[in-house]
Copies of this chain bind each other. A is one copy, B any other.
Amino acid sequence: MENGGSNGDQEVSTSDAVEAFLADSPVSGEAVADSVAAFIERHRSSGNTAFTGRAGPGLSRPIVVVTSGGTTVPLERRCVRFIDNFSAGTRGAISTERFLEAGYAVIFLTRTGSLQPFSQMLPAADPPEVIARVAMLQPPPAVAPAEGSLDGKAVSASSSGGADADNVVIRPEQMAALARVLRAQQACREHGTLLIIKYETIFDYLTYLRLISELLRPLGPDVMFYLAAAVSDFYIPWSELAEHKIQSADGPLELSLKRVPKMLGELVNKWAPRAFTVSFKLETDQRILVHKASTALHRYGVHLVVANLLHNRKDVVTLVEPLGAAAAGAAAAGPAGGGAAAAVEDQAEGVRTVELRRPPLEHDIERLLIEEVAARHRAFFGKAA
């Protein structure tokens, strides 16, 4: 969740501040650029763009950039200490699975160590413990009585040789889950539909995000940005960081951190102005949620804000979009079943809201969320066609 960087209640940063931040970043991102370029090439269509109905070459499937996890802010260049913005990355990881199911190619920009797609099908534990829960040692099969051995005892050279052998098998109760994980990974490999790019710092994240958005820019409305990462609010510019670890001298440690310039407006207006952009708003207070989301919508010009509350974000989300947007998804289908409430028009805020609830029998709310988001993206690129 973008719980750190999307308060939306401050001035939009100027392009100058953004350019200064990126010029100060120590990250080049060349390898990332190469892998993104190859990914785009793979999904280019030589014939018509079937999924949009537009004539002429384009993509064989739409592309979504899902950002996930939280960015860090280093306190020294050879980073031992850093300020972290906690986010487990659950929303981004599960949304990625659902986007793949919905036919998207996904660029997953994720923090090292945060939740990965298909993880949620496995036991939540450290790697050695995961292995203990999905696999087990199995004794060698019991030796069948040898023919002609009336007392049932059999000594066979070949079977005794296996008595100490390592025989590890998958636990039967985990077999189906593991098969699903392996099939999902295999499908991604075969079709090249998932590109995972890992970041650690705010410098990595913003450098990569600009680079990716500029490479995707020529693809216009067929691209979606789904910005679920928790971006740091404050940082120390690289040029001001000490090379080595701050020594533990006497006295307190005083840190002065600058505001991270707001990149959302730049993304929407300059880096990828024709793409469909979804941002997130996480709050703890229900009363200000829609207002905060509406402010972000109007200030940065994103197409949709997914608003959620910390305590029930896995069960309820509210879609907030401009009144002028084409009705799509449950809003277009009229009074809704399947977990989506009817759209509500809020004239004061100038927005339409749709509340989504996790259907009781479903594992997560992301299937419904991605259905709704994808329907809006279809309406968006359909209008552009």
Contacts and interface: CB of A to CB of B under 8 A. Distances in A.
Copies of this chain per assembly: 2
Interface in A151-177: 166-170, 175-176
Interface of A: 3-5, 7, 9-11, 72, 75, 79-86, 113, 116-119, 121-122, 125-132, 134-137, 166-170, 175-176, 178-183, 185-186, 230, 232-234, 244-245, 247-259, 284
A181 B128 contact: yes
B132 A130 contact: no
A185 to B, nearest CB: 5
Among A85, A178, A186, max chain B CB count under 10 A is at A178
Contact of A75 (B83, B121, B256): B83
A267 to B, nearest CB: 18
A234 B253 contact: yes
Nearest to A166: B179
A71 to B, nearest CB: 11
Given A84-B81, A166-B179, A179-B137, A252 B247 contact: no
A257 B253 contact: yes
30 contacts: A9-B248, A10-B248, A11-B250, A80-B86, A81-B86, A82-B83, A82-B86, A113-B113, A113-B126, A116-B126, A118-B128, A119-B127, A119-B128, A122-B127, A127-B127, A128-B185, A130-B130, A131-B181, A131-B182, A132-B185, A135-B135, A137-B179, A137-B183, A166-B175, A166-B176, A168-B182, A169-B169, A233-B253, A253-B256, A255-B255
B181 A167 contact: no
A38 B83 CA distance: 37
Contacts of A85: 80-81
